[in-house]
Amino acid sequence: MLEIKNLVCRYGKVTALDGISLKVPAKQLVVLVGANGAGKSTTLRAISGLVPAASGQIIFDGEDITGMAAGKILAKGIAHCPEGRRVFGEMSVLENLEIGAYLRHDAKAIQSDVDRIFHLFPRLAERRAQVAGTLSGGEQQMLAIGRAMMSRPKLIMFDEPSLGLAPNIVEQTFHIIQEIRDSGTTVMMVEQNAFAALDMCSYAYLLEAGSMVLEGEGQDLISNPHVREAYLGAGVHA
């Protein structure tokens, strides 16, 4: 579904991605792991058109989307859940969802999608008029996921979905992400919580200093000695 060939990205003179290649097959959950500054977020930002590619190709659904404007890429069906602050804090829950459908103009379908998300996350339905900034961290995460789904993406990309969340909320978030995958949407995820991410994914890539150093099925990476030592810590039992 998504294929990246020899992608190079630079911030000024600094090379963030040094010719990486990867594939995300349809209806799969693919994970990108690596240390801080390895280029994981840059990869996602390049795919969604926020960072220009210096060279290389990004192909989505058989179409070359390299260099396309961010809005166009979103309209093609790639949604991006950026890391950091996840929701528009001063807007209500409902407004947050509605703005997720910003590029769509089918009011009826948008309404039914809102209802679907409220059905999926009853907590959000209870708080639909509440200002999003006053939600708990977990509720904000649900809202962010809901908002990303409002664009009806074929591929949804999560950047550090577990960051700053309580352990039980992290578990819940991962559960939802798996459900999204099971419902037929392709998922690509960048995650620092390497063990959990590798455990739930179908295929994984390991980035180090802007280069792809390892790839394979999640379980294979978990049992890889290099991964175990550098990313999973000595005390982790696979």
Partner 1 sequence: MKLIASLLILAFFATVPLWLQDQYYLHTLVVTGIFMLAAMSLNLLLGFTGQLSLGHVAFFGIGAYVSALTSLGFSVTIFGMPIVHEPWPPFVGLIFGALAAGLCGYLIGKLAFRVRGAYFVIVTISFAEVVRLVSLNWVELTNGPLALPGIPPMTLGFEWSGYLTLWGKAQNYYFVLAVIVLTYVLIRRLVYSPYGRAMIALRENETLAVSVGISVTKYLVLAAVFSGALAGLAGGLYAHYIQIIDPMIFMFLNTVTMVIMVITGGKGTLAGPVVGGLIFGIAPVVLRSYVGPEVQWILYGVLMILIVFVLPEGIVPAIERWFNRGGASRSPTGRGASSGGSSGDGSALALSGSGKGNS
Residues that bind partner 1 (CB under 8 A): 48, 50, 69-71, 74-75, 79-82, 84-92, 95, 98-100, 102-103, 129-131, 133-136, 147-148, 151
Distance in Å, CB of 37 to partner 1, minimum: 18
Side chain identity, residue 3: E
> CA-to-CA distance for 175 and 108, rounded, in angstroms?
29
**Contact between residue 152 and residue 75 where contact means Cβ atoms under 8 Å apart:** no
Q: Shortest Cβ distance from residue 103 to partner 1 (Å)?
A: 4
Place of tokens 């049992």: 223
Residue type, 31: V
For strand 29-34 and strand 186-190, is the pairing parallel, antiparallel, or unpaired?
parallel
Least distance (Å) from partner 1 to the CB of residue 121?
18
Q: Which is nearer to partner 1, 131 or 214 (CB)?
A: 131
In the complex, the smallest distance separating the C-beta of residue 17 from partner 1, rounded to whole angstroms, is 19
Least distance to partner 1, CB of residue 84, Å:
7
Residue with Cβ nearer partner 1 (23 or 104): 104
Closer to partner 1 by Cβ: residue 79 or 207: 79
Which CB sits closer to partner 1, 77 or 216? 77
The angle, 0 to 180 degrees and rounded to 10, between the axes of the packed helices 137-149 and 107-120 is: 150
> By C-beta, is 96 or 162 nearer to partner 1?
96
Interior angle at CA 15, CA 12 and CA 16, nearest 5: 105
Backbone angles phi, psi at 31, to 5 degrees: -115, 145
Q: Work out the angle between the directed axes of helices 137-149 and 93-100 (0-180°, nearest 10).
A: 30
The one-letter code for the residue type at 46 is A
SS3 label, residue 209: coil
Q: How far is the CB of 3 from partner 1 (least distance, A)?
A: 22
Q: For partner 1, give the closer residue by CB, 95 or 215.
A: 95
User: Which residues, other chains included, contact 111 with Cβ-Cβ below 8 Å and sequence gap of 6+?
Assistant: none
